[in-house]
């Protein structure tokens, strides 16, 4: 699990220092403020460590080689050069993080090279963990295209977050109770009205009662909830998972969004670290209510763009109430407009 993250001259970030991180971590901000970038750099660090230790008994690759490959296939920069990740006008970027209380670091210090330097040496294994990233785009309908372009042809387009998500979804669902995450499954079952996404004969279907629906006949929101339901039931989301979700509110009704937040809160209580990038007032407000109700620290990283210093961040704890941010400002503005119209009428 991550303890903290520090970015220097990465993409639009001149300096970001977010600490301490916790079980649930929210990232908010307007469009083009780097929310997905922040999620993906954390994903690259964790996923590269996971892959490095999985292959440590096979072909010998250094963590540097694994991380470079992960950065390339996740960000897919122009010309396939990592130096495009450096903030424009700067000569080097540096990323530092605490991971299970172990300091991690890498530097990309020369515009002419794509090789990382000053990279931490991994000497001791970490506690068992796995990493998953759920993008805002619905992927079940594009499952075959992702598999063909990435697994068979290794063509850029779908990044690594898509590739490893479809691999996780292929695993069969196991029977029986899932003790730590059963409450989360119950919430998702309620949202789906006991329906399930199933992998049947090389294709996904949605099954409710005795009726089957192709993915083209299934609502986008159902598919998104079904992905989470499947990953819990096949034990890919479990204690030790680091889960990244980009804009989970996309294609979801507000009632389903509230249920999704409660489900994620239960997952965090079961030992899963969750990172969420969102524009949704409903997500932010429901997490704020849960934080206050349970006295649960939920850090918020609020990103905003400046004219001279790139993207900056303010940090909040939802136990202290809703943070000032454009999501709240627009909601209040619309409410005030509604009140003014009522008065005028």
pLDDT attached to residue 157: 82
Look at residue 112 and tell me whether its pLDDT is greater than 70.
Answer: no
| Higher per-residue pLDDT: 155 or 14 | 14
| Higher per-residue pLDDT: 209 or 96 | 96
Placement of tokens 């990103």 in the chain:
303
Placement of tokens 């999985």 in the chain:
54
pLDDT attached to residue 110: 67
Look at residue 217 and tell me whether its pLDDT is greater than 90.
Answer: no
Dist CA 333 CA 129 (whole Å)? 43
What separation in angstroms does the CA of 37 have from each of 7, 46, 215, 260?
Answer: 11, 14, 29, 23
Tell me what the mean pLDDT of segment 6-17 comes to.
Answer: 96
Least confident of 4-13, 112-121, 333-342: 333-342
Preceding amide of 282 cis, omega within 30? no
| Report for 106-110, 120-124, 210-214, 257-261: range of highest mean pLDDT | 257-261
Look at residue 5 and tell me whether its pLDDT is greater than 70.
Answer: yes
The reported pTM is: 0.93
Least confident of 123-127, 235-239, 334-338: 334-338
Task: Categorize the per-residue pLDDT at 331 as very low, low, confident or very high, splitting at 50, 70 and 90.
Answer: confident
pLDDT attached to residue 143: 84
164 alpha-carbon distance from chain centroid: 13
Task: Tell me the pLDDT of the chain averaged across its residues.
Answer: 90
Tell me what the mean pLDDT of segment 286-298 comes to.
Answer: 97
Task: Categorize the per-residue pLDDT at 56 as very low, low, confident or very high, splitting at 50, 70 and 90.
Answer: low
Domains of the chain, each with CATH number or no CATH: 2-174+238-344 (3.40.50)
Element (H, E) at 32: none
pLDDT attached to residue 93: 95
pLDDT attached to residue 341: 76
């Amino acid at each position: 699990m991550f303890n903290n993250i520090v970015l220097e001259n990465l993409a639009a970030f001149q300096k970001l220092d977010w600490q301490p991180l916790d079980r649930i971590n929210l990232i908010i901000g307007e469009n083009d403020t780097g929310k997905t970038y922040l999620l993906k750099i954390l994903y690259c660090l964790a996923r590269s460590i996971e892959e490095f230790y999985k292959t440590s008994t096979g072909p010998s690759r250094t963590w540097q080689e694994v991380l470079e490959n992960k950065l390339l296939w996740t960000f897919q920069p122009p010309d396939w050069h990592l130096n495009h990740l450096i903030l424009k006008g700067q000569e080097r970027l540096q990323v530092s993080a605490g991971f299970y209380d172990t300091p991690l670091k890498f530097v990309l210090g020369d515009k002419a090279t794509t090789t990382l330097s000053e990279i931490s040496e991994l000497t001791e294994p970490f506690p068992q963990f796995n990493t998953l990233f759920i993008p805002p785009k619905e992927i079940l309908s594009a499952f075959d295209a992702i598999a063909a372009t990435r697994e068979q042809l290794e063509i850029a387009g779908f990044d690594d977050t898509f590739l490893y998500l479809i691999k996780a979804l292929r695993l069969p669902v196991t029977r029986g109770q899932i003790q730590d995450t059963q409450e989360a499954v119950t919430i998702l079952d309620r949202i789906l009205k006991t329906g399930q996404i199933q992998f049947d004969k090389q294709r996904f279907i949605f099954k409710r009662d005795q009726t089957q629906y192709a993915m083209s006949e299934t609502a986008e929101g159902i598919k998104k909830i079904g992905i989470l339901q499947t990953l819990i039931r096949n034990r890919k989301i479990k204690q030790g998972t680091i889960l990244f979700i980009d804009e989970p509110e996309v294609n979801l009704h507000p009632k389903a969004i509230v249920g999704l937040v409660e489900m994620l809160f239960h997952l965090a209580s079961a030992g899963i670290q969750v990172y969420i990038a969102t524009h949704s007032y409903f997500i932010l407000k429901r997490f704020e209510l849960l934080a206050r109700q349970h006295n649960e620290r939920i850090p918020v990283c609020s990103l905003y763009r400046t004219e001279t210093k790139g993207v900056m961040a303010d940090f909040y704890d939802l136990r202290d109430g809703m943070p000032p941010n454009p999501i709240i400002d627009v909601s209040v503005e619309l409410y005030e407009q509604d009140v003014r119209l009522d008065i005028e009428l």
